[in-house]
């Protein structure tokens, strides 16, 4: 009997059929899982629109001078501090070049820059002085930088819909876009959208005063300021 006889091929088909069934079930399961994993379309304005907060570092480059900071560099540093004061006030890093410009010029420029920052109101604990490899560049600058954040809202007015059509009971495509964009434009410290702002410590002395008055049964609020009383004019009465 030859191998081409139908009776010889039949057992092979019977042995292969269970594997074909298993592969078919796996394919169907994969299709079902892909369908279930698909995220539903956004419905509410908070799902459709969001504020993107991205880091936006600020950097200032100062040339090293043996005589210290020039007047132009001092003015640039004052503007640098003003920009820092309008942000989250993250630590300022001063990077001094190594293996490049004259070491005495670098030291004097970096130290005077640090002193100017402190005199302008930056806490000394928020200033870090580090070095970086200039790789033999004699004109490598002293780098000052801090990290700030930028909030970007959505671009509105991209689509319009018929406000009279309510058969689907869905939110309008642009509903909530302008509000989200306005918040992004007005927020003072975008980093607050990433994490809560640090809270000041409680006033323990004021707390003891309030508790003492509460135990005595007296009024716990502060005394009223007589200058805060507003009285309408009595003319014509």
Task: Give Cα 4 to chain centroid, integer Å.
Answer: 73
Per-residue pLDDT, 237: 56
Ranges of CATH 3.30.1330.60 domains, the chain? 57-147
Average pLDDT of the residues of the chain: 83
- Encode burial over 132-141: b for 16+ CB neighbours within 10 A, e otherwise: eebeeeeebb
Per-residue pLDDT, 151: 94
Each residue's pLDDT tens digit, 179-229? 999 999 999 889 889 888 778 888 888 888 889 989 998 888 877 777 776
Q: Is 96 helix (H, G, I), strand (E, B) or coil?
A: strand
Highest mean predicted confidence (pLDDT) among 123-137, 146-160, 187-201 = 123-137
Least confident stretch, 123-137, 160-174, 222-236: 222-236
What CATH number does domain 57-147 carry, 3.30.43.10, 3.20.20.80, 3.30.200.20, 3.30.1330.60? 3.30.1330.60
With both helix axes pointing from N to C terminus, report the angle between 103-119 and 71-85 in degrees, rounded to the nearest 10: 50
Q: Tell me the DSSP string of 5-50.
A: SHHHHHHHHHHHHHHHHHHHHHHHHHHHHHHHHSPPPP-SHHHH--
Per-residue pLDDT, 53: 94
User: Which stretch of DSSP H or E encloses residue 204?
Assistant: helix 204-216
CA distance 118 to 81: 10
Q: Tokens 């042995």 correspond to what residue?
A: 15
Per-residue pLDDT, 14: 43
Each residue's pLDDT tens digit, 26-58? 555 555 555 556 777 777 888 889 999 999 999
CA distance 83 to 94: 16
Q: Is 221 helix (H, G, I), strand (E, B) or coil?
A: coil
């Amino acid at each position: 009997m030859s191998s081409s006889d139908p009776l010889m091929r039949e057992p092979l088909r019977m042995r292969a059929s269970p594997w074909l069934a298993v592969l078919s079930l796996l394919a169907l399961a994969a299709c079902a899982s892909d369908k279930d994993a698909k995220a539903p379309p956004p419905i509410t304005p908070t799902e459709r629109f969001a504020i993107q907060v991205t880091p936006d570092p600020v950097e200032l480059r100062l040339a090293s001078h043996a005589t210290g900071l020039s007047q132009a560099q001092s003015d640039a540093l004052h503007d640098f501090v003003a920009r820092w004061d309008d942000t989250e006030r993250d630590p300022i890093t001063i990077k001094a070049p190594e293996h490049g410009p004259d070491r005495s010029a670098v030291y004097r420029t970096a130290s005077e820059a640090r002193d100017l920052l402190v005199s302008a109101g930056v806490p000394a604990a928020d200033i870090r002085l580090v070095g970086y490899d200039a790789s033999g560049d004699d004109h490598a600058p002293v780098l000052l930088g801090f990290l700030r954040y930028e909030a970007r809202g959505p671009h509105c007015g991209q689509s319009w819909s018929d406000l009279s059509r309510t058969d689907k009971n869905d939110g309008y495509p642009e509903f909530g876009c302008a509000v989200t964009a306005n918040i992004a434009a007005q927020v003072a410290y975008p980093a607050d959208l990433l994490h809560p702002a640090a809270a000041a410590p409680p006033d323990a002395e004021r707390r003891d005063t309030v508790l003492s008055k509460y135990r005595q049964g007296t009024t716990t609020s502060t005394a009223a300021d007589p200058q805060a009383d507003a009285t309408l004019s009595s003319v014509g009465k």
